[in-house]
């Protein structure tokens, strides 16, 4: 059974939408919960396939887990870890699960974690993780597709990252929590999810300073200093940015609730320059609207606080019907323009030259049958279908389900014409042509 989105474009999104917990944060908090013996409870946890995979990873290590869907809460009892191996069958499904390496080395002084392998959007190397752990005193052996890390003791060290890798920063933060002495990570990633992880660790009894800046210092504590906690995950800035884009793309007007506006400053600035209207109406609520045709802009994706690569595809969708010509430079991943062929099928005028995309605005996009290639590209196609003239079908929804909880439900609450149906639905082909599916 294959599920697909059926979308009728052209309806302005109006109303209110509430943003869920940050996927890219909660996955790392789940790994961090392994450091403390006892039962930790995390709130504002989205019901996503990536969360389910991470639950399976940490359960495989011996932690007891339970997820309350109605409460959006997750309980992790890491009193006894009975296994130090994270198998390929699970790690290969989601690269973020590689983060258990730092937690296991920190607490158990040994870990065997599968190399995560390739990624659709481009290479994500783990050598920064490995070199950092070696600097802390771990002996690393890579064989048969697994990283085997072992350390009689971990000792603090100064570690410089060649690039501000989010994953490496997080893995080394977890490893440094129980290392003897101080660990200093220079050229550290500064994303809000890094700050959330640091706040979580500090609430647990760790001593982490400087998160959100380019230098993070972790003063090691003892195992008995750590204790289980209750903690609420920050809102998902990428989900918020996606809905901002969808509202603007459809010339709608809506309120986005449970968002931290400071996490989207650079993105919001670009949207304002394009001609969108964005107002802060409450500390955690934005009113987003757009009446007129947008103007093209140029931008380069950069590590936080620069333009987020995870929102590049959404911005490209807006540029497809904007006045003039816009240029996007993708500086972080070599295959992050995978939405381009699909947008062209809708009538977009996009020329791609390696990591540059030149988008000449057209009058309108037209509905088409499309396939999601990865999480963010898939979401951008949903936005494109909502703004297009006519009907669209989007396939390979498993990519989108990794990072958006109840995506179609939230869109429908805003008035968007979207349905999820599977291949067994009657008259599926006929429905898309006669519009009776909506």
Active site residues: 119
Burial degree of 436 (CB within 10 A; 0-12, 13-18, 19+) = exposed
Radius of gyration of the chain (CA): 22
84 CB-near residues (< 8 Å, 6+ apart): 61, 104, 108, 110, 111, 112
Token code pair at residue 154: 């971990």
Q: Among candidates 268, 253, 246, which has minimal Cα distance to 380?
A: 246
Cα separation, 391 vs 376, in Å, equals 21
Cα separation, 2 vs 22, in Å, equals 27
Contact 134, 140 (CB under 8 A): yes
The string over 232-269, giving b where at least 16 C-beta atoms fall within 10 Å of a residue's C-beta and e elsewhere, is bbbbbbbbbbbbbbbbbbbbbbbbbbbbbbebbeebbe
Contact 151, 141 (CB under 8 A): no
| Chain-centre distance for alpha carbon 77 | 25
Bridge-partner residues for 280, per DSSP?
286
Q: CA torsion angle for 94, 97, 99, 105 (degrees, to 10)? A: -140
Burial degree of 434 (CB within 10 A; 0-12, 13-18, 19+) = exposed
> 163 phi and psi, to 5 degrees?
-130, 155
The beta strands (E) that lie in 38-143 are given as 39-43, 64-68, 73-77, 85-86, 110-114, 139-143
Contact 91, 98 (CB under 8 A): yes
Contact 423, 2 (CB under 8 A): yes
């Amino acid at each position: 059974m294959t599920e697909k989105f059926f979308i009728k474009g052209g309806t302005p999104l109006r109303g209110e939408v509430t943003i869920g917990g940050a996927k890219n944060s909660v996955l790392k908090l789940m790994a961090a919960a392994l450091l403390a013996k006892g039962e930790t409870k995390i709130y504002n946890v989205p019901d996503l396939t990536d969360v389910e995979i991470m639950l399976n990873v940490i359960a495989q290590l011996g932690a007891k887990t339970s997820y309350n869907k109605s409460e959006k809460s997750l309980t992790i009892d890491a009193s006894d870890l009975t296994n130090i191996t994270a198998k390929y069958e699970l790690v290969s499904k989601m690269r973020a699960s590689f983060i258990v390496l730092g937690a296991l080395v920190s607490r158990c002084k040994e870990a065997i974690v599968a190399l995560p392998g390739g990624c659709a959007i481009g290479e994500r190397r783990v050598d920064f993780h490995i070199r950092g752990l070696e600097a802390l005193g771990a002996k690393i052996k890579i064989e048969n597709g697994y990283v085997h890390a072992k350390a009689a003791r971990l000792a603090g060290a100064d570690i410089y990252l060649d690039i501000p890798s989010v994953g490496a920063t997080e893995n080394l933060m977890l490893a440094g929590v129980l290392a003897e002495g101080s660990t200093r990570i220079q050229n550290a990633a500064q994303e809000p999810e890094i700050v959330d992880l640091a706040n979580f660790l500090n609430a647990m009894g760790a001593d982490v300073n400087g998160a959100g800046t380019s230098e993070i210092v972790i003063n090691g504590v003892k195992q008995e200093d750590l204790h289980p906690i209750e903690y609420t995950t920050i809102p998902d800035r990428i989900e918020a940015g996606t809905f901002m884009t969808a509202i603007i793309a459809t010339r709608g007007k809506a309120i986005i609730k449970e968002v931290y506006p400071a996490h989207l400053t650079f993105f919001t600035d670009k949207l304002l320059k394009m001609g969108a209207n964005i107002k802060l109406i409450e500390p955690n609520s934005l009113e987003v609207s757009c009446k007129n045709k947008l103007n093209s802009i140029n931008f380069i994706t950069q590590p936080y606080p620069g333009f987020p690569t995870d929102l590049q595809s959404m911005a490209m969708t807006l540029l497809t019907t904007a006045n003039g010509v816009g240029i996007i430079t993708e500086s972080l991943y070599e295959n992050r323009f995978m939405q381009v062929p699909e947008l062209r099928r809708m009538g977009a005028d996009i020329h791609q030259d390696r990591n540059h995309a030149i988008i000449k605005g057209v009058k309108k996009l037209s509905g088409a049958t499309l396939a999601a290639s990865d999480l963010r590209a898939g979401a951008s196609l949903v936005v494109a279908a909502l703004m297009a003239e006519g009907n669209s079908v989007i396939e390979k929804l498993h990519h989108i389900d990794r990072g958006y909880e109840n995506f179609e439900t939230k869109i429908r609450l805003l008035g968007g014409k979207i349905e999820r149906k599977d291949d067994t639905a009657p008259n599926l082909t006929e429905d898309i042509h006669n519009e009776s599916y909506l």
